[in-house]
Amino acid sequence: MSRSYTFVVLGEAEPAGSKKAFVPLHPKTKQPYRRPGGGIVVSVVDANPHAKGWKKRVAKIAHDECGAPLLTGPVKVTLVFYRERPQSHYGVSGLNKSGREAPFPTTKPDAGKLARGTIDAMTGVMYVDDAQIVEEIAIKRYGTPPRAEITVEEVATPEAENQNSLFAGLEPPAPWEIGASAASHQPPTPDRQARAHAGQPHRETFGAGTGHTDHNQSPDRSPWEQEDQTEKETEPPSGQK
């Protein structure tokens, strides 16, 4: 069965995605660090300094919730970010006009950058690489307390889905259905085979068993009609004893 994990990370999610590059300098010489080949070392970090703390929090909770080998197949990630409303949305008796006209958080950061920081934090913790993500849903909503509700689940392969669909909704046949099915597959009797080869319609026989046809029986008469005819033929003519 596919594995699925759902957990909550409390706090205001921090965006990531934008990067900042800089050349670190040696504290004494104030010269850039250099690689063995002579190239200058360049460091790349998140432009948001608060992203590091958010990523650490997500990674810790994801690790605690997962508690299993990393997912190695296709993955679907659903992220719902709840942002706290600004104080300007509230009046004395609740939401004011500005708050009522803003049902969703449409200001920065955008959902994509919030998702990027959270997905990066779970790489190597829940899945091997974020390239495994084949479905990604990122949603922003207002809510208290601010938090991220995260669901990470394996995506079933088409082969597994087809295999499961073959048996979906099937129930074992009833005993009488099994009997009827078995009876319909009984081998033909010699009498039926002979009539089939001769192109004659099948006729049921009565009395003597399989393959026997009484001379008084006719395929156009029912058994009780044939019995009446037999009685008439065996009665002596009128006036005779």
> Does any domain span residue 43?
no
For residues 93-98, average pLDDT? 92
| pLDDT tens digits, 166-186 | 555 666 666 666 555 555 555
| pLDDT tens digits, 57-95 | 999 999 998 877 899 999 999 999 999 999 999 999 899
Q: pTM for this structure? A: 0.58
Lowest-confidence pick of 11-15, 177-181, 214-218: 214-218
- Return d(Cα 152, Cα 136) in angstroms, integer: 10
State the pLDDT at residue 25: 82
> Does any domain span residue 234?
no
> Residue 207: pLDDT above 50?
no
> Does any domain span residue 27?
no
> Does any domain span residue 233?
no
State the pLDDT at residue 18: 61
Q: 80 near 148, Cβ under 8 Å?
A: yes
Mean pLDDT of the chain: 77
Q: What is the CB neighbour count within 10 angstroms for residue 31?
A: 10
> Does any domain span residue 8?
yes
- Return d(Cα 23, Cα 33) in angstroms, integer: 8
DSSP for 118-142, written as a single string: HHHHHBTTTBS-GGGEEEEEEEEEE
Domains in the chain, number: 1
| pLDDT tens digits, 117-148 | 999 999 999 999 999 999 999 999 999 999 99
> Does any domain span residue 117?
yes
Residue 65: give its domain's CATH number. 3.30.1330.70
Range of the domain at 108: 1-19+49-210
> Residue 214: pLDDT above 60?
no
State the pLDDT at residue 154: 95
> Does any domain span residue 166?
yes
